[in-house]
Chains A and B, each alone.
Chain A
Amino acid sequence: MALLTVKNLRTTFRTDDGPVCAVDGVSLSVDAGQVLGIVGESGCGKSAMSLSIMGLLPTSATVEGSIQLGEHQLVGMPNSELRTLRGSEVAMIFQDPMTSLNPVMTIGWQLEEAVRLHQKVSRREARALAVAGLAAVAIPSPEERLKTYPHELSGGMRQRVMIAMALLNRPRLLIADEPTTALDVTTQAQILELMRDLRSEVDAAIVLITHDLGVVAEVCDEVAVMYAGRIVERASVDELFARPQHPYTWGLLASLPGRNRAGERLHQIVGSPPSLMNPPAGCRFAPRCAMAMDVCRADPAPALTEVAASGAVVACHLDAATRAREGARFASSEDSA
């Protein structure tokens, strides 16, 4: 039984120019101890989806469908109940730790607050938990760190504090939205290593939202590729890189500069993602797809269907043989060799 099951999630924002459907019928599930990566470019709806799960969207948004977390149904749950779940059952790490920490409170105050909001413990016990939390994310001399303010810490340290805070109440689900994007490569490597270690320790389900396929390959078990509010492909991480199925995934893989030889032009996906205000009919990637056929440009859009013998699902009208042949050109070097 999966810990988190999202079914047919639709998130719509009311705007002055009409409704914008940022997440359009997304279904996915994550088991405890598993890391699900959600990859996509800006505006593909990945953050709107994570905020829908957290119930953190502004009132201009409506969420339909089902989000089942353990025994709780999160869609339609009153705010007061959601508030007790947030921070205890579900926790979130944001991209920019500086804007998510309170600049005028010490790290210790913020960590203790997070503990005392959800657990009936004395101040002293809360403090001990905060120290243990900082130690768990490998922050040196944690007791002294409690007295510091966010601005006194480096970006990597702040992100560690955020992770420590998210894990304080032993959440069952951790959503990390671009947790390393604001960090340097060496710091990113430290944080990714920390996440790999924590994953085995805390036994939580992790949803990792990122635009970086490198980060996905490093920490995820499962990957869902999102484009214009929909999932176009979902597979295990090995499967996705060994046998990518969707033309959009091919484009993403091929445009990675590290995979191209110098002198060869970088593969580019022509055009830019469609406006979600007025999305194209049929497959939303069709206008940018080199292999689009007439059927792709007409409704209904291709449904997610299982790829034989791999457990992966893909939403594409191309036949299996074509996908296998074309996909092989974009597979990881090792497998295609």
Chain B
Amino acid sequence: MSEPILTATGLTIGFPVKRGIIFQREVARVQAVDGVDLTLHQGETLAIVGESGCGKTTLARGLVRLRDIDAGSITFMGEDITRQRGRPLSDFRRQVTMIFQDPIASLDPRMRIGQSMQEPLDIHSIGMPAERKRKVQEAMERVGLNPEHYNRFPHEFSGGQRQRIGIARAIILEPRVIVCDEPVSALDVSVQAQIVNLLEDLQRDLGLSYIVIAHDLDVVRRLADRVQVMYLGRVVEQGEGEQVYNHPRHPYSKALLSARPIADPKLARSRERIVLQGDVPSPIKPPSGCRFHPRCPVAQASCSAHDPRLEVAADGHGWACAYPLAP
């Protein structure tokens, strides 16, 4: 396998829990991301999946240093950038960019889209102003937008086109890594397919590496080379797409996979389905032992006391479960 380009070790990101109206005091800290390790290799796509509240978005923001890191480290191309500031941080952000879920919320409604896309170039002082416009129009063409629409406003575009604008803005700095936070979940199915194809084309043509955060397991299956499943701030299973999807070992991964609706009525009726009971517990007070044990269909008595660690086998498939499912 090629060189790792971005690695995180023991990444922990928390939020303060505050009480009081005038004299706010911190009464606890929620570990939204709790000791996550990940490695992204050159040219590959790593997906992070899980339900809302599992910490996947916080992790994404932490990886591009939009959130302060409580503990652990992030290394980009051999350099520790966990606490970098100023110039080195700015350089890092030029090479690791982000695509957001909601293309409407991430574009300034009063700014022409050309300007929106040009802003990263202005910030990083890349090229002369005249050259910048040309660069933006090249990027627009690359993502399938009409370069003549340079002077239009975001509301004049459909959802799919807005996501293309977001993608153009992310690639304009010629980054090495793009962190995509739910890149297609706000889009219609037919448009979703267009964006998935576009992301794949860009990866092939520009040699990009992706970290894709998503809750749609089918989109992830399609895009990702490797998958990490998160539950309450921790990685509970990781491996190649094939391993996790076809031979899940952690009961949570299996339940998550069996919960997705299948667009085939006969299969939908006949398949074995695990419907998890209850909701994801609050991360303010995570359950003792294995965090999944209160909802786990195969939990044993010892699961409430013993917290399993993520053990990764030589083939890269790893799971954090004391009683893993048969492969």
Binding site for B on A (CB under 8 A): 41-42, 154-157, 184-190, 192-193, 211-218, 237-238, 241, 251-253, 255-260, 262, 265-269, 272, 332-335
Contacts and interface: CB of A to CB of B under 8 A. Distances in A.
A8 to B, nearest CB: 27
A212 B222 contact: no
B188 A256 contact: no
Interface of B: 51-52, 158-161, 188-194, 196-197, 200, 215-219, 221-222, 241, 255-256, 258-268, 273, 275-277, 279-280
Nearest to B276: A186
Nearest to B194: A268
B262 A214 contact: yes
B154 to A, nearest CB: 16
Given A156-B279, A190-B275, A272-B158, A217 B192 contact: no
A268 B193 CA distance: 5
Nearest to A193: B275
Given A185-B217, A262-B222, A255 B264 contact: no
Contact of A256 (B189, B258, B265, B279): B189
Contact of B263 (A41, A157, A258): A258
A266 B279 contact: no
A237 B268 CA distance: 12
Q: List the 3 closest pairs (A to B, CB-CB), nearest first.
A: A214-B261, A258-B218, A255-B193
A268 B190 contact: yes
B263 A217 contact: yes
Contacts of A334: 264, 266-267
Nearest to B49: A185
Nearest to B255: A186
Contacts of B266: 238, 241, 332, 334-335
Contacts of A218: 261-262, 265, 268
- Give chain B's interface secondary structure class: helix
A185 to B, nearest CB: 5
A256 B52 CA distance: 22
Contacts of A259: 263
A108 B262 CA distance: 36
Contacts of A241: 263-266
Given A41-B188, A184-B215, A237-B265, A189 B193 contact: no
A10 to B, nearest CB: 24
Contacts of B158: 272
B159 A42 contact: yes
Contact of A265 (B197, B241, B256): B197
A211 B259 CA distance: 18
17 contacts: A184-B52, A184-B215, A187-B51, A193-B275, A212-B189, A217-B262, A217-B267, A241-B265, A251-B190, A252-B189, A257-B218, A265-B200, A266-B196, A266-B222, A269-B190, A332-B265, A332-B266
Given A267-B193, A332-B265, A272 B256 contact: no
A332 to B, nearest CB: 4
Nearest to A156: B279
Given A185-B256, A266-B197, A255 B261 contact: no
Contact of A42 (B188, B222, B277): B188
Contacts of A268: 190, 193-194, 197
A333 B222 CA distance: 17
Given A213-B189, A238-B266, 9 more contacts: A42-B159, A185-B215, A189-B259, A214-B263, A217-B265, A218-B268, A241-B266, A258-B263, A268-B194
